[in-house]
């Protein structure tokens, strides 16, 4: 979908933040395909935790359910920390959460990471496969950061802001700081970001409609 380029509005896609599909280590699965097989053998019996109804972690799991053709029971929490704590404690088996939040628990052996939700592997953890390459082709979910300019901002100003953002994102120390936190720096033109925002809005709307998700 190509959206006409306006003055102002979306300015720059700064970075994407992939989520990680993780399970409690006591669950006898070591890959996405094994999780799908177990879920199909026990429809509706496995539970996943989210940071709340309508959150990105909720919708990422719902998209996974739909594309993998499985049934998982949703257990919403009031925030990421209590959701993660209950998965670590074994009260819930599955969780989707940001790479930066999840990796310390994976490294400590408190969670088993199965895959990242982005279309490509994350530079922060290249050993983790994507869900798409693990048996759910086309799955691609990330949260992201963008820079917006007020409507009516002259194109010359928008372009200058975009150029400055790109220069900053190319600084080695900035890229290292972002990547170490599980954030993948991007940088885009204003027009590309406008098109990306439109496609993301369509994708998330489709997931919300199909899942019936509602905000708490």
Q: Name the more confident of 216 and 207.
A: 207
**What band does 41 get if pLDDT is binned at 50, 70 and 90?**
very high
Tokens of 39: 């879920």
Q: Above 50 in pLDDT, residue 4?
A: no
- What is residue 187's predicted lDDT score, i.e. its pLDDT? 85
Last residue of a domain, one of 134, 159, 187: 134
Residue 2 located in a structural domain: no
Q: How many structural domains compose the chain?
A: 2
Residue 6 has pLDDT above 70, yes or no: no
Asked if pLDDT for residue 8 goes beyond 60, the answer is no
Predicted pLDDT of residue 154: 87
Domain boundary (78, 107, 134) is at 134
pLDDT of residue 213: 77
pLDDT attached to residue 216:
63
> Which alpha helices (H) appear in the chain, and where do they start and end?
32-41, 56-68, 80-89, 99-107, 155-169, 172-180, 190-211
Instruction: Give the pLDDT band (50/70/90) at residue 69.
Output: very high
Domain annotation covers residue 106: yes
Residues 101 and 29 in one domain: yes
The more confidently predicted of residues 15 and 12 is: 15
For the segment 151-171, the average pLDDT, to the nearest whole number, is 87
Q: Do 60 and 107 belong to one domain?
A: yes
* C-alpha dihedral, 70 to 73 to 79 to 83, nearest 10°: -90
pTM of the model as a whole: 0.86
Q: What is the mean pLDDT of residues 44-61?
A: 95
Q: Which domain holds residue 58?
A: 20-117+125-134
Please check whether residue 38 is in contact with residue 28, taking contact to mean a CB–CB distance below 8 angstroms: yes
pLDDT digits (tens, 9 = 90+) for 80-139: 999 999 999 999 999 999 998 999 999 999 999 999 999 999 988 999 999 999 999 999
Same domain? 171 vs 80 = no
Q: Could you tell me whether strands 9-23 and 112-116 are parallel, antiparallel, or unpaired per DSSP bridges? A: antiparallel
Q: How far apart are CA 185 and CA 154, in angstroms?
A: 26
Q: Percentage of the chain surpassing pLDDT 70?
A: 94
Per-residue pLDDT at 95: 98
The dihedrals phi and psi of 28, each to the nearest 5 degrees, come to: -80, 60
CATH number at residue 39: 3.40.190.10
pLDDT, residue 171, reads 94
Q: Which two tokens stand for residue 16?
A: 């994407």
């Amino acid at each position: 979908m190509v959206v006409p380029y306006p003055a102002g509005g979306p300015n720059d896609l700064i970075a994407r933040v992939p989520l990680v599909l993780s399970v409690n280590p006591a669950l006898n699965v070591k890959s996405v395909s094994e999780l799908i097989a177990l879920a199909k053998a026990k429809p509706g019996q496995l539970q996943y935790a989210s940071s709340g109804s309508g959150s990105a972690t909720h919708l990422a799991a719902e998209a996974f359910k739909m594309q993998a053709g499985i049934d998982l029971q949703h257990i919403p929490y009031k925030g990421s920390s209590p959701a993660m704590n209950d998965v670590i404690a074994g009260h819930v088996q599955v969780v989707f959460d940001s790479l930066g939040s999840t990796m310390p628990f994976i490294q400590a052996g408190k969670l088993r990471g199965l895959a990242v939700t982005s279309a490509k592997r994350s530079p922060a953890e290249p050993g983790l496969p994507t869900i798409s390459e693990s048996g759910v082709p086309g799955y691609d979910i990330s949260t992201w950061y963008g820079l917006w300019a007020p409507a009516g901002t002259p194109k010359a100003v928008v372009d200058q802001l975009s150029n400055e953002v790109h220069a900053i994102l190319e600084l080695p120390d900035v890229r290292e700081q972002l990547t170490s936190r599980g954030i993948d720096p991007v940088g885009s033109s204003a027009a590309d970001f406008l098109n990306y925002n439109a496609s993301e809005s369509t994708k998330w709307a489709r997931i919300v409609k199909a899942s019936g998700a509602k905000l708490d």
